[in-house]
Amino acid sequence: MILPGKKHVRLFEEATDRAITRHHDELVPDMMPGFVAAFVVLIVGLACAIKAFEAVNPRLSYPAQPMALEADSDDSGRGIWFSLSAPAKSIVVTTDDQKIFEWPLDPLKALQSKSYLEFKDYLRGRRKQVVEDLVLSMDQEGIESKSRAVIAVDEHLTYAHFKPIMLALSSAGIRSYGFETRSDGD
């Protein structure tokens, strides 16, 4: 039997240290792609969850900042909802079914733009669909409340920017509309 001497113990310790260092140095680069892949999967999963929430709540991603007011809620029925904002040099209307219409800020140019005419047709179609659904369901009291337009108007827009919307609402036969407000949380 060979008894380990100091030389053998020292050599054994050096070999063990080299093996541990080698395994550690090889292990970190081998694990890095796994960490990167896990991080990418986490980010993609988070993005999918956010998009799924936006699909459930269409009012989440609209660009308008309505005025902050304390107002009573009128939840008499789900009506036609859209937001009105002006992020650049144009008016942008985003509907509750994620359709986007855009026309110039100038009200006179807006009335002749293709997108504005498409918006008017869209409102007519939505009003017709709501009325047909309510007539088939025989709900006579709900026609006015469910064909009401609820508009989230950006607080920076003026009445002149809202005039084309009023014309589109009246040409679609929508006589009842209201404005969405937000609470400051006080």
**Given this model, what pLDDT does residue 80 score?**
83
**Given this model, what pLDDT does residue 117 score?**
93
How many Å apart are CA 94 and CA 99, to the nearest integer? 6
**Given this model, what pLDDT does residue 43 score?**
87
Task: Summarize pLDDT for 68-91 with one digit per residue, the tens.
Answer: 555 554 555 567 888 888 887 888
Which string of b and e fits 69-78 if b means at least 16 CB within 10 Å? Answer: eeeeeeeebe
Closest by CA to 96, choosing from 62, 66, 67, is: 62
Largest CA distance in the chain: 106
Dihedral angle sign, alpha carbons of residues 65, 146, 149, 109: positive
pTM over 0.75? The answer is no
Task: Summarize pLDDT for 9-24 with one digit per residue, the tens.
Answer: 677 777 777 766 655 5
